[in-house]
Structure 1
Amino acid sequence: MREVAFIKQNKEKWLEFEQAIFGKAKKNPDELASLYIHLINDLSFAQTYYPKSKTVVYLNHLASITYQKIYKTKREETNRIVRFFKTEVPLIVYQNRRYMLYAFALFFVFTFIGVISASKDETFTRLIVGDAYVNMTLENIEKGNPVAVYKSGSNWGSAIGITLNNLRVGATSFVLGVFGGVGTVYILFKNSVMLGSFQYFFYEHGVLWKSVRGIWIHGCMEIFAIVVEAGAGLMFGASLLFPKTFSRMASLKNGFKNGLKVWFSTIPFTIAAGLLEGFVTRYSPDMPLWLNLLIILGTLAAISYYYLVYPFILNHKIKKYVPTV
């Protein structure tokens, strides 16, 4: 069937969908679910025979809104917070997975730049983190504890101060996405180069493994969250640069809303990282190796599953119960 004929044949039905979603007449969850199944059938057909057309973009957006409406009115789903983390955010991450991929790719590239720069110029790390911090770290290395800085200050004071700073960095990274993503890339660049250069600094002084045992207790969730926040910023920026079939303002509002949800979802991980840094990292030199690895790998697995694995599982679960064309 030609695309024109396909649109003509289903146009009235799609308008009915729009009325059900955006109109004043509300439908119950069962009726919405029925509409959703028909809509997904049309979307699957369009993706198969007109993969690059605007029809696919339109139907995909309509299907996404319909699905969210179903979950917002679903009788058994009463906890808004649970629904937010269990369904909304993972679906947004899946739909915008390319921007998450871009963020992680940039993170690894920028971190490598930090490593290479530090290896070629012995003054580079001082330039990035400052003489005072480098000198203090050198003193700690001489004393046999390269991560002794984490023992300074009280537990709660350190945890709260670190958490607030990381929340500020993440929020800044997301908000600066409004400049087409350039501001977000800059924040990611600065933090990634700092990480790469400082890790090389520890390697250069023969204490890389000791630093890993300490820093990455909290660093897995802290750094991972920063990258995800950068992905949210790129989503925001892309909504301005690539509005597709929407007006630029409508696209920007939608990009901001979705990016904000993704940023908000990182807050529990950022708080957890701050608590680990304030209460656990300081004891890393005295921990048995198995406990170090359990915390590091456990935190990495938890946040990786939520942002990299679960969105695909949820999307597959949804498609599993949708009739194919």
Structure 2
Amino acid sequence: MREVAFIKQNKEKWLQFEKAIAQKQIENPDELSRLYLHLINDLAYSQTYYKKSKLVIYLNDLAVRVFQKIYQSRRVEKNMLLHFFKIEVPLLVYQNRRYLMYAFAFFLLAVIIGVVSAANEESFVRLILGDAYVNQTLQNIEKGDPVAIYKSGSNWGSFIGITFNNLKVGLTSFVYGLTGGIGTGYILLQNGIMLGSFQFFFEQQGVLWKSAKGIWIHGAMEIFAIVIEGAAGFMLGASILFPKTLSRFSSFKLGMRNSIKIVISTFPFTIAAGFLEGFITRYADQMPNFLALIIIFGTLSLISFYYLIYPFKVHKKVISGAYDA
């Protein structure tokens, strides 16, 4: 069948899906679930015969949005929290993956700026980190313990204080998305430059590995989560600046609802990073290198898988009908 004929034959059905998605509440989720299977068949057909057509992109996106609407409309759910992390957030991340790309690219650029600036201007590190921190760290390096600053305070006190501070940074980055993403960009720029200059400072002192061994035990998840929260801020800003076919207020409400779900999904990782910093980092210098590397790459792999790989797997299952909507 020619593509034009295929579209003409199914156009009304797809428009019904569009209308159903726009409704606040679906009266008959089971009926929509049945029709969803037809939509999956249409998508499979278009992927087979119209591979390079924009129709595939449209039906792909429509299938995901219909699945989400059906899921949200079901009042009885055995484990809403499990589905939130297992299906809902990964689908939102997949749909908004370009904002993750923007956030990571922007943060990486900021890190490079920090490294280059610190390498070319001796006073730059003091400007960014402050004289008190630099002087204290230099004293710690002379004593043979470059990350001694992470050993101050009690385990629980450090864990609670650090966790709340990290949550504050992430939430600030997200809320600043209300500026159209400019404020979010500033927070990512600030943190990226700080990280770049911070790491270069330890490299200059010849203790990069000793510092990284301690810092990245908790930093892998901590920094990654901040970037994800920045991506959510960019999502929020885009919903204000680019409403597309929706009214600006409707686009903002949708953007706020979706982006805050992604922010909430980072909380377990932020709390875990705080726990590692409060209870594990202080013992990094006594830890075998292989164990430190296992923790660093293990935590990095976990959060990377959840936000960079798993969303594609969930999306693939949704459009193939493997998940029961």
- For normalisation by structure 1, the TM-score amounts to 0.89
Given that 2:64 and 2:319 are in contact with CA atoms closer than 8 Å, whether structure 1 keeps it comes out as no
- Distance (whole Å) between structure 1 residues aligned to residue 57 and residue 300 of structure 2: 36
Instruction: Give secondary structure in 2 for the equivalent of 1:244.
Output: coil
**Is residue 177–residue 236 contact of structure 1 (8 Å, CA) maintained in 2?**
yes
SS at 1:266 equivalent = helix
Alignment check: 8 A CA contact 2:40 2:320 kept: no
CA distance in 1, matches of 2:45, 2:245: 20
Displacement of 1:74 after TM fit?
Answer: 6.3
The alpha-carbon distance between structure 1 residues 257 and 304, as it changes in their structure 2 partners (threshold 3 A), is same
Specify the alignment match of 2:120 in structure 1: 120
Alpha carbons of 1:227 and 1:182: their partners in 2 closer, same or farther (altered >3 Å)?
same
Q: Aligned pair count?
A: 318
Does the C-alpha gap of structure 1 residues 25 and 265 become closer, same or farther in structure 2, counting only changes over 3 Å?
A: closer
Cα distance, 1:115 vs structure 2:
0.3
Query: CA separation of 1:247/1:174 partners in 2, compared to 1, >3 Å: closer, same or farther?
Result: same
Unaligned runs of 5+ in 2: none
Aligned counterparts of 2:28 and 2:35: Cα–Cα separation in 1: 10
For 1:168 and 1:286, locate their aligned partners in 2 and report how far apart those are by CA, in whole Å. Answer: 31
Give the structure 1 partner of residue 99 of structure 2. 99
Match of 2:226 in 1: 226
8 Å CA contact 2:25, 2:73 repeated in 1: no
| Structure 1 range deviating more: 38-47 or 246-255 | 38-47
Calculate the TM-score normalised by the size of structure 2. Answer: 0.89
In structure 2, relative to structure 1, the CA distance for the partners of 1:78 and 1:297 (3 Å cut) is: same
Q: Distance in 1 between matches of 2:20 and 2:54?
A: 27
Counterpart of 1:203?
Answer: 203
- Alignment gaps of 5+ in structure 1: none
1:266 is aligned with what amino acid?
Answer: T
For the 8 Å contact 2:94–2:311, the answer to whether it is kept is yes
Which residue of 2 is the match for residue 308 of structure 1? Answer: 308
The change in CA–CA distance for 1:60 and 1:321 in structure 2 (over 3 A counts) is: closer
The answer for the alignment partner of 2:259 in structure 1 is 259
Tell me how far apart the structure 1 counterparts of residues 174 and 320 of structure 2 sit (CA, whole Å): 33
Trace 1:244-283 onto structure 2 (pairs within 5 A): 244-283=244-283
Question: Structure 2 matches for 1:90-239, cutoff 5 A?
Answer: 90-239=90-239
Which residue type is aligned with residue 26 of structure 1?
E
5 Å matches for 1:41-56?
A: 41-42=41-42, 48=50, 51=53
2:309 partner amino acid: V
- Residue 27 of structure 2 aligns to a residue whose secondary structure is coil
Contact 2:147 2:211 in 1 (8 A): yes
1:163-190 C-alpha deviation (Å, 9 max, x unpaired): 1111011011111112211111100000
Contact 2:235/2:259 (CA < 8 Å) preserved in 1?
yes
Q: Deviations over 1:214-263 (max 9, x none)?
A: 00000000000001011111111111222222222111111111110000
**Amino acid paired to 2:130:** G
Superposition RMSD on alpha carbons, in Å?
A: 2.5
- State how far apart, in whole Å, the 2-side matches of 1:285 and 1:216 are: 13
- One-letter identity of the residue aligned with 1:64: V
Pairwise CA distance, 1:113: 0.6
Structure 1 match to 2:27: 26
Given that residues 46 and 56 in structure 1 are in contact (C-alpha distance below 8 angstroms), is that contact kept between their aligned partners in structure 2?
no
Identity %: 61
Deviation at 1:45, TM superposition (A): 6.7
Provide the C-alpha distance between the structure 2 equivalents of 1:255 and 1:265, rounded to a whole number of angstroms: 16
Secondary structure class of the residue paired with 2:246: coil
Distance 2:53 2:255 in 1: 23
User: Structure 1 residues 186 and 25, CA, compared in 2 at 3 Å: closer, same or farther?
Assistant: closer
